[in-house]
Chains A and B, each alone.
Chain A
Amino acid sequence: MSDHNHHDSETGYGRFHRRVFERKAGVFAVATTVAISVGALVELIPMFTASSSASWERVDWVTPYTPLEVAGRDIYVREGCYLCHSQMIRPMRAEILRYGPWTRAGEYQYDRPFLLGSRRLGPDLQRVGGKYPDAWHYEHMRDPRSTSPGSVMPVYPWLIDSKIDPADIAASVRALARVGTPYESTDEAWVAGRLQSQGATIVQNLASAGITAEWDDEIVALTAYLQRLGVEGRAHLANQGGDS
């Protein structure tokens, strides 16, 4: 058995290909690398140069995630919430009606990793901040059906019992600062202080709904994260006078 109809390899570029590429593995490997590099360089290089300075991705109306929000975001990643929830509202009438103003590039400028998501098994969360009181999130995470009858979202009762670790979060804040997120300070005392003060506000809100929680409960950190999603963008875009 032969692998090719041999005659068609004896003329034109077939012959050239046989002589040069198929006989010299080094040439073949370099040519392949060049072939895959062109598109990659054309698309990626402008992004890198753009995101390094004042650019299309930089805006001054979005602030970095606070330490408590960083902790909450890490929980969101750990639980794979992004596999059911997108964080990207598209510039389409129905999406704007359902979720709010479409998402601008600058709103993601501190997102590491990005969490746009590619599926909507649940609603988009990019502007969920402020949509519900803190107590709603507490109940919803404990058992989604308590707030949303017939929900298909899984239950997350362990978020109520588990604790965040300030030293661990300080390590995250340091790593984020190293890649350029502007934090006032990265030492553990500062991080712990910020965690406690922001956590205390949420604990108070929960208490007024009759729920007892502590500042270092995971559910508090996750709530802090969810409640800030899209809020600054919504305020800014409203000032700009447009709803879309």
Chain B
Amino acid sequence: MEQSTSGTVATPASRPDYDMDIVKKFFTATVVWGIVGMLVGVVIALQLAWRPANLGLPWTTFGRLRPLHTNAVVFAFGGNVVFTGIYHSMQRLLKTRMWNDTLSRIHFWGWQLIIVAAAVTLPLGLTQSKEYAELIWPIDVAITLVWVVFAVNFFATVAIRKVEHMYVAIWFYMSFVITIAVLHIVNSLVIPATLFRSYPIYAGLTDALVQWWYGHNAVGFFLTTPFLGLMYYYLPRAADRPVYSYRLSIIHFWALVFLYIWAGPHHLLYSALPDWAQTLGMVFSIMLIAPSWGGMLNGLLTLKGAWDRVRTDPILKFMVVAVSFYGMSTFEGPMMSIRAVNGLAHYTNWVIGHVHSGALGWVGMISFGMLYWMVQNIWNRPLAYPSWASHHFWLATIGIVIYTVAMWAAGLMEGLQWRALDDAGRLANPIFLDITHRLNPFLWLRVVGGSMYLVGAVMMGINFWKTIRGPSAPAGARVEGV
């Protein structure tokens, strides 16, 4: 069938000459930055549980390392994993090599340089302060240029494709390439004061609205749509089943890209932003359940007939847990967008629990599943330590549960105690720190859960290292797929 993801069985000699080197480059960068980003996550988690971990040095305090964590996990880990999957799957889906290898390499090295620049500037306190858009304006310019290089190469490759129809994964990748460009440019419009400092052209609540339009859609189009694209390619490959419903993928794709963009104001509920804008944000967020669950169902139902393998295959286990957490966080998100619920959740650790059920559960687990599948495929070797993949799965899953449950408990507790009044109508807990101190056990639990997650990722790194350096599969015997 012309639109198949794997094509007819082809002998290695007749396979198109895909650029696998660029995939390996992004793959390696993913694993390295993933471990770095999660390590910084554990460090800042420790700082919140135990103040001396701030070390009393300017470049190691929480306020400077937290943006390093978010940038490292979202743009270094998340970005590289998405690029790994895109360069790998789009060449196969379109049956053509990337249009231009030099552009692929400029994209790769440019992106890594941007990450290094971020890792140097953020601890130095050079920041624009907008969450997920902290990097200073010269780096923003570099991001724009590298993105243009990527986009040109992406669309040119689509243009020279050898298949007639674009498979659903490509739709999701395309929405990612386009939307991130728009978001980045609009949110980065500033007037430079010096090489390191600038001021936005927007002020006050307008600036806040632009930022959260950006911020929410960074979640939507950086941590969601490209990962759904990965799900649509790698889950059917790993399960060896066709995607459950083609029509569902059409509806939920268009509904998702249309609805997501409206939801930003749910970050500004109860602010002085005009009511109509807050209401739009809330209503569209609630509607987002439908297309989000469309994606989840299409993923889970694709496993129809393969559930017996889910019990034994760690790759499928990672993917099933990922899609389930996707469903869970996209149910929780809309609930948290209801004004009254947000009144309780906003500003608390509950939001952090929500973030990490999406980040660790969905983004992290779908990535791990893909990486385990891919390492065997592109290096043509079996895993060095197959049982470690299982151990990683359990460490990560239990780690997420400990992390998120601790944060939900802490969030509810502080939310309720901040607002509690006594019989005379006075604050029941007038001293802020009293409440903070009661949260401490939960913050330690997060250190434990986060460390488990990190240890799993390190085991994955060692496993990949040994696999790649180990002997390849005997000639003629391909390990998986293709």
List A residues at the B interface (Cβ < 8 Å).
1-6, 8-9, 13-14, 17-18, 22-23, 25, 28-29, 32-33, 35-40, 42-44, 47-48, 50-51, 56-57, 74, 77-84, 86, 88, 90-95, 97-98, 102-105, 108-123, 148, 150-158, 168, 171-172, 174-176, 178-180
How long is the Cα–Cα vector from A168 to B103 in the complex, in angstroms?
Answer: 38
Can you list 18 contacts pairing A with B, beta carbon distance less than 8 Å? A1-B6, A2-B242, A13-B250, A28-B171, A35-B254, A39-B262, A57-B205, A79-B63, A83-B63, A83-B66, A91-B270, A98-B418, A105-B273, A108-B208, A115-B129, A118-B347, A122-B432, A151-B433
Would you give the shortest CB distance from B200 to chain A, in whole angstroms?
Answer: 5
Chain A residue nearest in CB terms to B210: A44
B3 touches which one: A2, A33, A98 (CB < 8 A)?
Answer: A2
Pair A25/B427 contact, Cβ less than 8 Å? no
Pair B56/A155 contact, Cβ less than 8 Å? yes
B198 touches which one: A51, A98, A175 (CB < 8 A)?
Answer: A175
Chain B residue nearest in CB terms to A93: B421
Beyond the given A98-B430, A104-B272, A114-B203, please list 18 additional residue pairs across the A-B interface where CB-CB is below 8 A: A2-B1, A3-B168, A5-B245, A22-B165, A25-B155, A39-B258, A39-B284, A43-B265, A48-B206, A50-B206, A51-B204, A80-B127, A111-B207, A112-B207, A153-B51, A154-B51, A171-B193, A172-B197
B215-263 interface (Cβ within 8 A of A)? 236-237, 240-247, 249-250, 254, 257-262
Would you give the shortest CB distance from B43 to chain A, in whole angstroms?
Answer: 13
Q: Which residues of B contact A98 (CB under 8 A)?
A: 418, 427, 430, 432
Contacts A28-B166, A32-B175, A39-B258; A74 near B343 (Cβ below 8 A) = no
Q: Which residues of B contact A88 (CB under 8 A)?
A: 271
B264 at the interface (CB under 8 A from A): yes
Contacts A32-B174, A32-B175, A86-B347; A43 near B213 (Cβ below 8 A) = yes
Pair A3/B178 contact, Cβ less than 8 Å? no
Pair A57/B204 contact, Cβ less than 8 Å? yes
B432 touches which one: A4, A43, A123, A179 (CB < 8 A)?
Answer: A123
Pair A4/B418 contact, Cβ less than 8 Å? no
Pair A154/B258 contact, Cβ less than 8 Å? no
B391 at the interface (CB under 8 A from A): no
Pair A78/B127 contact, Cβ less than 8 Å? yes
B356 at the interface (CB under 8 A from A): no
How long is the Cα–Cα vector from A29 to B166 in the complex, in angstroms?
Answer: 12
How long is the Cα–Cα vector from A232 to B267 in the complex, in angstroms?
Answer: 26
Pair A32/B199 contact, Cβ less than 8 Å? no
A36 touches which one: B257, B267, B277 (CB < 8 A)?
Answer: B257
Pair B427/A155 contact, Cβ less than 8 Å? no
List B residues at the A interface (Cβ < 8 Å).
1, 3-6, 47-48, 51, 54, 56, 58, 61-64, 66-67, 125-131, 155, 158-159, 164-168, 171, 174-175, 178-179, 182, 186, 191-194, 197-211, 213, 236-237, 240-247, 249-250, 254, 257-262, 264-265, 267-268, 270-274, 277, 280-281, 284, 343, 346-348, 351-352, 418-421, 426-427, 430, 432-433, 436-437
Q: Which residues of B contact A29 (CB under 8 A)?
A: 155, 174, 178
Would you give the shortest CB distance from B385 to chain A, in whole angstroms?
Answer: 28
Q: Which residues of B contact A118 (CB under 8 A)?
A: 131, 267, 346-347, 351
Per CB-CB distance, the 8 closest pairs between chain A and chain B, nearest first, are A80-B63, A108-B204, A39-B262, A175-B193, A78-B125, A105-B272, A39-B261, A94-B419
Chain B residue nearest in CB terms to A18: B165
Pair A38/B261 contact, Cβ less than 8 Å? yes
A154 touches which one: B63, B242, B247, B352 (CB < 8 A)?
Answer: B63
B270 touches which one: A43, A47, A92, A178 (CB < 8 A)?
Answer: A92
Pair A35/B247 contact, Cβ less than 8 Å? no
How long is the Cα–Cα vector from A37 to B352 in the complex, in angstroms?
Answer: 29
Pair A22/B166 contact, Cβ less than 8 Å? yes
Pair A116/B5 contact, Cβ less than 8 Å? no
Would you give the shortest CB distance from A7 to chain B, in whole angstroms?
Answer: 9
Pair A110/B204 contact, Cβ less than 8 Å? yes
Q: Which residues of B contact A120 (CB under 8 A)?
A: 347-348, 418
Would you give the shortest CB distance from A12 to chain B, in whole angstroms?
Answer: 8
How long is the Cα–Cα vector from A113 to B137 in the complex, in angstroms?
Answer: 13
How long is the Cα–Cα vector from A79 to B241 in the complex, in angstroms?
Answer: 51
How long is the Cα–Cα vector from A40 to B213 in the complex, in angstroms?
Answer: 8
Pair A79/B351 contact, Cβ less than 8 Å? no
Q: Which residues of B contact A83 (CB under 8 A)?
A: 62-63, 66-67
Contacts A168-B194, A172-B199; A79 near B125 (Cβ below 8 A) = yes
Q: Which residues of B contact A154 (CB under 8 A)?
A: 47, 51, 54, 56, 61-63
How long is the Cα–Cα vector from A101 to B199 in the complex, in angstroms?
Answer: 28
A114 touches which one: B205, B236, B281 (CB < 8 A)?
Answer: B205
Chain A residue nearest in CB terms to B124: A78
Pair B240/A113 contact, Cβ less than 8 Å? no
B203 touches which one: A8, A36, A42, A112 (CB < 8 A)?
Answer: A112
Pair A23/B165 contact, Cβ less than 8 Å? yes
Q: Which residues of A contact B51 (CB under 8 A)?
A: 152-154
Contacts A121-B48, A152-B48; A179 near B166 (Cβ below 8 A) = no
